A and B are shown apart, each in its own frame.
Chain A
């Protein structure tokens, strides 16, 4: 380390603990403030000799220790009973006794760490390897088996010659002048440093990206993310066509799906009879389904006014005499089987829904062709929606 010729302090070495104690007393009595004693190990009674106030370190510890305790307890309370409360073994959300151990540990942890960090950085200003006393002959001795005293140049009543006298009077066997160390400077805009910054940026972002988007989706992290089971619409490598979803074997009957007996016939001689009463529930369902599946072509009121603006041939109105004379079963048949350009809706509309639609169409037909008698009936309350 290069040193300036600016004086930092005058250091003197002594041989025995007794001498150094005495020396400390004298220096302090002479009213020096900025002086220090360096000994290879703490020498008892030195505090008194140097007139030092007792250490305040304890307060840091206390403060952090307490805050640790409070924080831990509060955090656990919040996490377990406010943020994400869950029933665990039938315990209440805030199971105090169970939280004690963690609280204790956190307290100790914070207390100790704060103490040490407080001590080293806040009180000692460590790390400080550029301290002028370091790396001097003086320091070598005091860290071995000698005892040293040093008076700093910035002491208000510092005077080189006086200090030297003082030391010699104290029978120090060697007095040494310690000089300031030259300050090095660190300019920011240095190509080397900028390159370093760049490198850091690239590496950090690179690794973050890799970890978050690649690593976490590799084995074993992806276990159970990709499942062997085959869910709806999933591909299966087992089948040559890779369709995970299969179609039933022709001619088989799933329970609840007895095939429609008249499928394929254009004008079936006989049809099914309507198993559903037009209750409000059924009609609401019918309306919903009609508007979803039928209205695009047949129009919202089954007038055959397509919403498709002629992109598709308009169907005839369902209010025609013919349509009104259709049996329920026939309409069901048409929905199921399709007619002319209309294709079968069997796979979109469930059987129950088909009957509901039939019922709804009946309502539309009647509403469109209402007779006066209907009004009377309504007044009589013979028809009410909630039949």
Chain B
């Protein structure tokens, strides 16, 4: 822990000149896809295909193909939804909150994190849409004037979800796109190919780095960050309402909003680290996405991991303290009942393993951190599984207790969502600058007028 916090770590290491930065970042865009890339895309692509097939069959025969039943009405479908929404939190968090906190080290990873947010939210968005019995009627979930003169139930958490997730997606997308505009301009001006030029021009909207624009631009960015921050907190809060607002023991808990947000950041960062480790290696961005970045993120993981652990503990305490037999039963049942295995996977992956990050060596060792963050991802998926399934499978009436076993289709669709996510990520790395050129330039050494003190 001997880092000097009195001064910020340099974002760009090895004294890169601005031209180099630009060079480095836009290299993947200019070069032809290489072997590594093709292998990666084919793997993720085939996963996506599997998912698509399972989904097709589900549409044709009905979601009876899944494991859902009485009493477990929600299975993998909602588990995956919550999982992906959680993943989708790191991005906006990194770019927005760290921006407001003036954490300049964020610039190296912000763009990438935002992109991941968008892709993760896309994956998440699929599940509420397909989990319904009659997906072709999902339109009913939106308040549009219709023949039945019927609106929607604004007091249903699912409707809150609809608004929260769609808003979150729109805002993060806008945020991300606004950030991209100057880079599009840069690309537009440096590319030689005619087609690329037209495309970039369209997206750059005619940006010309004018300071009269920069002035408003920075203001806008500030505002967006300002909105994204409460939004990102609200989204998972609302997702947690899906459960907290119900009356099912194990769901009906006031601790859920903070607990879910912490969990979301936790899993989000873990996923970002997982992917960044590969990206920085493959595109040799070690100078821009530095080990320090990873270490800092690991610290966040450690912190949030402990928050999550604390939440687990609190749940049990309250269950006991409330003296409500249903609550008590559910939690004891979680730890000792038929789904104990899931529970203990969750605890070990989310609370125990991250503790290793107390050790600086591990924080800074790529392979170990990779293993740990993957564990965290698994653990967080199981957290959602435990919450959704183990609460439902034994609720109030002993007569209607049951057991939930996922089918191959459930698993196929889960894989498919990962396929979608990584396909999008890979395509992103190949088509857009994974690091914000202008931002990194702005924070490179000597980028700001000296007498002005530059960074403040």
Find out whether A and B make contact in their complex, taking CB atoms under 8 A apart as touching. yes
Cβ A116 vs Cβ B212 within 8 A: no
Cβ B208 vs Cβ A139 within 8 A: yes
- In whole Å, how far is B235's beta carbon from the nearest beta carbon of chain A? 9
A340 to B195, CA, bound (A): 96
B56 on the A face (CB < 8 A) = no
In the complex, chain A residues whose CB is within 8 Å of the CB of B441: 40-41, 145
> In chain A between 22 and 44, which residues have their CB closer than 8 angstroms to a CB of chain B?
24, 36-44
Stretch of A129-137, A241-249, A291-299, A341-349 with 4 or more beta carbons under 8 angstroms from chain B: A129-137
B149 on the A face (CB < 8 A) = yes
B439 on the A face (CB < 8 A) = yes
In the complex, chain A residues whose CB is within 8 Å of the CB of B185: 143
A61 to B219, CA, bound (A): 11
- In whole Å, how far is A28's beta carbon from the nearest beta carbon of chain B? 12
A197 to B420, CA, bound (A): 38
> In chain B between 202 and 261, which residues have their CB closer than 8 angstroms to a CB of chain A?
202, 204-220, 223-224, 227-228, 230-231, 234, 238, 241
Cβ B22 vs Cβ A128 within 8 A: no
A98 to B158, CA, bound (A): 12
A45 on the B face (CB < 8 A) = yes
In the complex, chain A residues whose CB is within 8 Å of the CB of B241: 101
In this complex, the member of B164, B208, B439 whose beta carbon has the largest number of chain A beta carbons within 10 angstroms is: B208
Q: Which listed residue (A39, A57, A99) contacts B154, Cβ 8 A?
A: A99
**Chain A proximity mask over B45-57: 1 for CB below 8 Å, otherwise 0:** 0000000000000
Closest to A118 in B: B220
A111 to B451, CA, bound (A): 37
Q: Which listed residue (B155, B216, B451) contacts A99, Cβ 8 A?
A: B155
Cβ B452 vs Cβ A21 within 8 A: yes
A170 on the B face (CB < 8 A) = no
Stretch of A47-55, A278-286, A327-335, A377-385 with 4 or more beta carbons under 8 angstroms from chain B: A47-55
A18 on the B face (CB < 8 A) = yes
Cβ B151 vs Cβ A61 within 8 A: no
- In whole Å, how far is A292's beta carbon from the nearest beta carbon of chain B? 37
Closest to A221 in B: B136
Majority SS of interface residues in chain A?
Answer: helix
B27 on the A face (CB < 8 A) = no
- In whole Å, how far is B451's beta carbon from the nearest beta carbon of chain A? 7
In the complex, chain B residues whose CB is within 8 Å of the CB of A106: 163, 167
- In whole Å, how far is A314's beta carbon from the nearest beta carbon of chain B? 53
A328 to B18, CA, bound (A): 114
Cβ A109 vs Cβ B170 within 8 A: yes
A113 to B451, CA, bound (A): 38
Cβ A40 vs Cβ B18 within 8 A: yes
In the complex, chain B residues whose CB is within 8 Å of the CB of A89: 155
> In chain A between 105 and 152, which residues have their CB closer than 8 angstroms to a CB of chain B?
105-106, 108-109, 111-113, 115-116, 119-120, 123-124, 126-131, 133-134, 139-140, 142-145
Cβ A46 vs Cβ B170 within 8 A: no
A128 to B212, CA, bound (A): 15
Closest to B143 in A: A79
> In chain B between 352 and 401, which residues have their CB closer than 8 angstroms to a CB of chain A?
none
Cβ A105 vs Cβ B447 within 8 A: no
Cβ B220 vs Cβ A116 within 8 A: yes
Q: Which listed residue (B174, B186, B189, B205) contacts A127, Cβ 8 A?
A: B205
> In chain A between 61 and 108, which residues have their CB closer than 8 angstroms to a CB of chain B?
61, 75-76, 79-80, 83-84, 88-89, 91, 95, 98-99, 101-102, 104-106, 108
B41 on the A face (CB < 8 A) = no
Cβ A79 vs Cβ B151 within 8 A: yes
In the complex, chain B residues whose CB is within 8 Å of the CB of A128: 205-206
A191 on the B face (CB < 8 A) = no
Cβ B231 vs Cβ A120 within 8 A: no
Cβ A142 vs Cβ B209 within 8 A: yes
Cβ B171 vs Cβ A18 within 8 A: no
A58 on the B face (CB < 8 A) = yes
A143 to B452, CA, bound (A): 22
Cβ B167 vs Cβ A109 within 8 A: yes
Q: Which listed residue (B163, B206, B218) contacts A129, Cβ 8 A?
A: B206
In the complex, chain B residues whose CB is within 8 Å of the CB of A16: 446, 449
B134 on the A face (CB < 8 A) = yes
In the complex, chain B residues whose CB is within 8 Å of the CB of A50: 211-212
**Chain B proximity mask over A260-281: 1 for CB below 8 Å, otherwise 0:** 0000000000000000000000
Whether A43 contacts B211 in the complex (CB less than 8 A), given A145-B18, A145-B441, comes out as yes
> In chain B between 19 and 66, which residues have their CB closer than 8 angstroms to a CB of chain A?
19, 22
B296 on the A face (CB < 8 A) = no
Q: Which listed residue (B174, B215, B217) contacts A47, Cβ 8 A?
A: B215
- In whole Å, how far is B165's beta carbon from the nearest beta carbon of chain A? 9
Closest to B241 in A: A101
Cβ B163 vs Cβ A123 within 8 A: no
Whether A38 contacts B215 in the complex (CB less than 8 A), given A45-B449, A113-B170, A143-B189, comes out as no
Q: Which listed residue (B134, B216, B456) contacts A220, Cβ 8 A?
A: B134
In this complex, the member of B159, B189, B241, B442 whose beta carbon has the largest number of chain A beta carbons within 10 angstroms is: B189
Whether A18 contacts B220 in the complex (CB less than 8 A), given A42-B442, A126-B206, comes out as no
B450 on the A face (CB < 8 A) = yes
- In whole Å, how far is A59's beta carbon from the nearest beta carbon of chain B? 11
B196 on the A face (CB < 8 A) = no
> In chain B between 424 and 453, which residues have their CB closer than 8 angstroms to a CB of chain A?
437-439, 441-442, 446-452
Closest to B455 in A: A44
In the complex, chain B residues whose CB is within 8 Å of the CB of A37: 210-212
- In whole Å, how far is A140's beta carbon from the nearest beta carbon of chain B? 5
Closest to B448 in A: A44
Cβ B160 vs Cβ A102 within 8 A: yes
Cβ B234 vs Cβ A105 within 8 A: yes
Could you write out 11 A-B pairs with CB less than 8 Å apart?
A38-B211, A39-B214, A40-B437, A42-B218, A46-B215, A76-B154, A104-B230, A109-B170, A127-B206, A129-B201, A129-B204
Seed contacts A95-B155, A145-B18; 10 additional CB < 8 Å A-B pairs: A21-B449, A37-B211, A42-B217, A80-B151, A99-B155, A104-B230, A106-B167, A108-B234, A128-B205, A134-B206
Q: Which residues of A contact B (CB under 8 A)?
A: 16-18, 20-21, 24, 36-47, 50, 52, 55, 57-58, 61, 75-76, 79-80, 83-84, 88-89, 91, 95, 98-99, 101-102, 104-106, 108-109, 111-113, 115-116, 119-120, 123-124, 126-131, 133-134, 139-140, 142-145, 220-221, 223
Pairs of residues from A and B, 4 with the lowest C-beta to C-beta distance, nearest first: A98-B155, A41-B442, A128-B206, A145-B18
